[in-house]
Amino acid sequence: MLALRILEVIFPLLAIGGVGYLYGRRHKPEMDVANRLNLEIFVPALIFSALSDRAFDLGTYVPLTLAATAVVMFSGLVAWPLGRAAGYQAKTFVPPMMFCNSGNMGLPLTVLAFGEAALPAALVVFLVENMLHFTVGIWMLDHRAKIIAVFRQPIVLAAIAGLAFSFTGTRLDPTLALPIEMLGQISIPLMLFSLGVRLSTADLGEWRIGLFAAIAAPVIGIALALVCIPLFGLQGMYAGVLVLFGALPPAVLNFMLAEKYRQEPSKVASIVIVGNLFAVVAIPLALAYVLPRYG
């Protein structure tokens, strides 16, 4: 039964995120250290472990990489006139429409929908989104930003190392590979827990722009994904991964960068928060389309 299958996919997301939300409401934990550990150790370990695995074939993911890039970039082109017509600043509205929550929500969602075999595809999409966010996204907020700094990010370094191992056929000794894999397994549940904690401190003062963006983001993303599937020849699981990628809400990183560059952070915070809350509606609808066709 499709409804039961959708529930099986989204329940772990809601359960772990809900625990984080309840814990955050009661104890208001400081998550900066945990988030930093995730970005600098656990997620890089997950990326390296998956990309350096014997089963990873780089050439298989070229069409998905190009399609994900197209979805991100064309989302910005569609969102720019839409935001302008609604009276919002482009630097406030456009980046959250482009850069989605491919980490906290995208990775576990894809694995739950398609199984562990989909993890490399989810990581490829995650890397595309992050590379573009740390380059194009930062440039949009500050044309003087030094984009070369992206190559000092642990996530990017882990991806380069993992791809190098895959390309050369080098294999780590199992004694070394196992602890790296175990560190990587920490990342996904911690992402969901951290997202729940962040939602527990939600401020919906700018709820109008948040609601507008929450509806616009998945509509634009899914529409572009459906255009890109035949354009790049995606089939099966890869097509499903791209549709789910298009349905994802805005990334939390949008708020962090808006705060850093003083680009209406309160409005961006509402876009992110309302968008992630609205995912409770958008994600099941996307799954209802994806699972019968690509699951």
Contact present, 276 and 100 (Cβ < 8 Å): no
Cα–Cα distance measured from residue 1 to residue 140, given in angstroms and rounded to the nearest whole number: 45
Whether residue 90 is contained in a domain is answered as yes
Whether residue 51 is contained in a domain is answered as no
Q: Which residues of 178-200 are buried (b: 16+ CB within 10 A; e: fewer)?
A: eebbebbebbbebbbbbbbbbbb
Among 13-17, 75-79, 252-256, whose mean pLDDT is lowest? 252-256
Give the residue among 15, 32, 20, 10 at the shortest CA–CA distance from 200: 20
Number of domains observed in the structure of the chain: 1
In a domain, 15, yes or no: yes
37, part of any domain: no
> How far is 21 from 27, CA to CA, in rounded Å?
10
- Which of 8-12, 68-72, 260-264 has the lowest average pLDDT? 260-264
In a domain, 239, yes or no: yes
Q: What is the pLDDT of residues 109-146, one digit of tens each?
A: 999 999 988 999 999 999 999 889 988 998 999 888 77
Is 90 exceeded by the pLDDT of residue 31? no
Cα 17 to the center of its chain, rounded Å: 15
Dihedral angle sign, alpha carbons of residues 83, 282, 73, 271: positive
In a domain, 209, yes or no: yes
Give the contacts of 147 (CB within 8 A, at least 6 positions apart): 134, 135, 138, 139
Please give the model's pTM, rounded to 2 decimal places: 0.86
Overall average pLDDT of the 225-248 stretch: 97
State yes or no: pLDDT of 56 exceeds 70.
no
Q: What percent of the chain has pLDDT over 70?
A: 98
Contacts of 215 (CB under 8 A, 6+ apart): 278
DSSP symbols for 115-148: -GGGHHHHHHHHHHHHHHIIIIIHHHH-TT--GG
Task: Please indicate, yes or no, if residue 167 is contained in any of the structural domains.
Answer: no
Is 178 part of any domain?
Answer: no
pLDDT of residue 55: 63
Instruction: Check: CB of residue 240 under 8 Å from CB of residue 121.
Output: no
Domain membership of residue 67 as a residue range? 2-23+63-147+191-294
- Spell out the alpha helix ranges (H) of the chain: 2-27, 32-37, 43-51, 62-86, 90-98, 107-114, 119-132, 138-141, 154-168, 174-199, 207-231, 236-247, 253-260, 265-294
Look at residue 241 and give its three-state secondary structure.
helix
Q: Is-contact 17 193, C-beta < 8 A?
A: yes
Above 70 in pLDDT, residue 285?
Answer: yes
Is 166 a residue whose pLDDT tops 90? no
Residue listed under structure tokens 């990326």: 47
pLDDT for 293: 93
Mean pLDDT, rounded, of the chain? 90
The predicted structure's pLDDT at residue 265: 85
